Every structure is written in C-alpha cells, then in structure tokens.
Amino acid sequence: MWGLGILEDVLRYHVAYSLPKGHDRMVVAEALDFPGVVSQGFDLADARVMIASALEEMAQMLLEEGRPLPVPNSEASAPDADLVELVPLSVEAGVSRP
C-alpha cells in the first residue's frame, strides 16, 4: 500500500503594494522575491488575499513540475512601493512511499 508523506514548511516572501493613484482604482501587489507573482485587489485587504492566493498557486505549479521554490531574499525592496510586507506561504509537498 502506498502512503502519502507530507512535508510542511513556512516561507515568507516580500510583497510590495502600490496603492491607487489618479484614475487607478486597484491596489497592485507584487512578490519581490518570487518571480511572476503579481496580483491586484479592490483595496489593500483584497490585494492581500489575492497575492496570497497567487503565491500558493504558483508554488503548487512549481512543485508539481518538480521545480524548486525561490528562496526568499532578505534584501528584497521596492523603493517606489507604498507598503512592503512579508507574506507567509504554507507549502505542502506530497511524497509517495511504499
């Protein structure tokens, strides 16, 4: 019988938020140390939910492809951002065992 071993760890990625300016009505969120993870929301709370979901989806895709997750960069910064914060990512990777 095959079991499923679960590896759990928590990584924290830097996310930069750009608040609406002028005619823009959306808050844009970008993971600075996880390439390709960008999202937006109607307000800051919505953007936080959306970027967390985008991080989870991208991480799951990389893991399914057997690719490593990016290592969080403690020096990640975005001088033009209105806010930068650490966003946790819960990672679960299943490993089949006999």
What pLDDT score was predicted for residue 21? 86
pLDDT in tens, 59-89: 999 999 999 999 999 999 999 999 999 999 9
- Residue type, position 73, single letter: N
3-state secondary structure of 14: strand
pLDDT in tens, 17-67: 999 988 878 999 999 999 999 999 999 999 999 999 999 999 999 999 999
Q: Say if strands 27-31 and 38-41 run parallel, antiparallel, or are unpaired.
A: antiparallel
* Fold (topology level) of 3-97: Double Stranded RNA Binding Domain (3.30.160)
Give the chain's end-to-end CA distance (angstroms, integer).
6
Q: What is the pTM of this model?
A: 0.81
